[in-house]
Every structure is written in C-alpha cells, then in structure tokens.
Amino acid sequence: MGRQPCCDKLGVKKGPWTAEEDKKLINFILTNGQCCWRAVPKLAGLRRCGKSCRLRWTNYLRPDLKRGLLTQAEEQLVIDLHARLGNRWSKIAARLPGRTDNEIKNHWNTHIKKKLLKMGIDPVTHEPLNKEVTSQDSSSPAEHFSQVDNTNIHQVKENSVALNLEENSTSSPAENSSGEESLLMDSICSDVSLMNSMWLDETPLMDMLWDSTPKLENEKLPMWEDNCPWLLDCQDFGIHDFGFNCSSEIESNALQTLDMDRKGL
C-alpha cells in the first residue's frame, strides 16, 4: 500500500539544524564517508531522516562549498545555462564549483528572475517579454531550450552583457566583476563547442572537485574558515571532537590547509 516513507515519522526531528547535530553529521561522514543515507541518522546518532541528513550535508556542510552571494561571472553563467537547460538546477550547479542546486535555485528565484523581469526579459524563455506571443507561436519553451546554435548563444550573451551593465551602474566597485571574469564569460559564450558540451552530460567541474582524491596538488582548497561556519565551531570543540583521525586524502588535505591558514601561510 503506497510508498514507504523515507523515514520513521515518529521521533524524527524537523526544522533548523543545531550546531550539535551538524557536528554529529560531519563527524560521521568524515569518518565513514557518504554511504546509505537512510542508515546515517541511526549510525550518527541523529533523530533526523536520511533525506534531511543528505540535504544538510550537500547544501550546507560539505567542505568544498562556497558561501555568500554569487559573483557576477557566476550569475551570468547561471543565466546562460538556464537559457539552455531550463530549471535543471542540479545540472547548472554542476558547472559552478562550490555551489549547490538549492543555492542557485534560491538565487534565481530571489535575484536573477527579478532582474530579468526588470530588464523586460522573460525569465522562462529568455526572450524579450513583448516578443513572447510571437515566440510562443513558433516553438514551445522546451523546443526553444533545445536550440543549441550560435543565434541563441549570442542572444544569451547580449542579455548577460546588458545585465552586467545595469549591475555596474549601481553596485560598488568591490562587487563588480573583474575584467578577467568578463573575459572568461566572453570566451565561454563565444566558444560554441564549450557551450554545446555544457549542454551535454560531460564530466562536470563540480564532480571533479568533489572527487575523493584531489587531482590538482598545487590547487589550494577553498578558504574553509570563510566558507564553513562550522569550522569556526571546530576551533571551539577541538579538532578531535570531529573524529579527524580518519584516513581519506581529502580530509588530511583539508586539515593541512586549515593548519596553513592558521599559521598565516
């Protein structure tokens, strides 16, 4: 009869996570890795459902997450990718290292959508609002998204540039994207093969970064203390409270980075 609930509803806590719960979850995952989310709450001593644990970890506790607002370049990339992929937030997030689908979805709904509407661009079709009727006559939104061609790329690029101009006129210099970011976006948008590969399911940047074995030895990991509030708690609890005596490379690398940061290297 029907689907089994993802967890035993009785005794399962809901709502915001406490620092103590975060600590337990982090401790468990760093020690045992990500496996069988359904079993995680029991094994970690949490009164949460596995789904909630997974969400908390992927959206908030993961050490490679960036925190804070999306940069201009990231925002433009989101707009470009949304024009191609639609509301496939996980696919979009996969192209933005350190960002989660939830974060991007929220940012889209609260910021980008409004900006596009303000500019007279339909956030769904990425067409000018006054052209909506005629564009609907010719093709459905789904068909529109599947049209991977230069015309589309240039239009998206134009929209992005327009958005950028508007942003630059109102935001502080510190918030503005650097010239390098603009060049990056320019080259991304101009590179048809790259944009087409983004459309296809090729190895995402995010997955590479999250792979358990760091491939770029000289690459510095994100500034953990800036990005992960829980690491500040780490300092309060003491590092062994988190069970950091585990063996995976990413953990030891992260600890080295943290140590280097502390020493001001």
Please report, as a single letter, which amino acid is at residue 262.
R
User: Given the rule CB under 7 A, which of 103-111, 128-136, 172-180, 240-248 is the region that contacts DNA?
Assistant: 103-111
Contact status: 109 vs DNA (CB under 7 A): yes
Choose between 114 and 220: whose C-beta lies nearer to DNA: 114
Residue from 26, 30, 89, 234 touching DNA (CB under 7 A): that is 89
> CA distances (Å), 151 to each of 7, 56, 78, 170, 189, in order?
48, 40, 18, 29, 11
φ, ψ of residue 159 to 5 degrees: the values are -60, -45
Q: Which is nearer to DNA, 51 or 186 (CB)?
A: 51
Give whichever of 114 and 131 is closer to DNA, judged by the CB atom: 114
- Alpha carbons 155 and 126: distance in angstroms, whole number: 9
For residue 213, CA distances in Å to 139, 210, 251 come to 45, 8, 10
- Between 34 and 182, whose beta carbon lies closer to DNA? 34
Given candidates 31, 32, 47, 59, which one binds DNA under the rule CB under 7 A? 59
Cβ distance to DNA smaller for residue 176 or 227 = 227
The closest of 164, 140, 149 to 72, measured between CA atoms, is 164
Distant-in-sequence contacts of 81-87, Cβ < 8 A, 24+ apart: 81/198, 82/108, 82/112, 82/123, 82/126, 83/126, 83/145, 83/152, 83/155, 83/156, 83/159, 84/145, 84/148, 84/152, 84/156, 84/195, 84/198, 84/199, 85/145, 85/199, 86/141, 86/142, 86/145
Asked if 16 touches DNA (CB under 7 A), the answer is: yes
Asked if 55 is part of the footprint of DNA (rule: CB under 7 A), the reply reads yes
Q: Are 127 and 135 in contact (CB under 8 A)?
A: yes
In angstroms, rounded to a whole number, what is the distance separating the alpha carbons of residues 27 and 149? Answer: 47
Contact status: 47 vs DNA (CB under 7 A)? no
Nearer to DNA by Cβ, of 79 and 157: the residue is 79
DSSP 112: I
From the list 15-23, 173-181, 240-248, 251-259, the region that binds DNA by CB under 7 A is 15-23
- Residue number with CB closer to DNA (38 or 196): 38
Task: Rule CB under 7 A: choose which of 31, 50, 62, 176 binds DNA.
Answer: 50
Single out the residue of 3, 215, 240, 263 in contact with DNA (rule: CB under 7 A).
3
**DSSP three-state, residue 78:** helix
By CB under 7 A, residue 87 contacts DNA:
yes
Binding of DNA by 51 (CB under 7 A): yes
> If binding is defined by CB under 7 A, does position 115 make contact with DNA?
no
Residue 245 Cβ vs DNA, minimum distance, rounded to whole Å: 25
Residues at the site binding DNA, with contacts judged by CB under 7 A? 3-4, 6, 13-17, 35-38, 48, 50-52, 54-56, 59-60, 69, 87-91, 101-103, 105-107, 109-111, 114
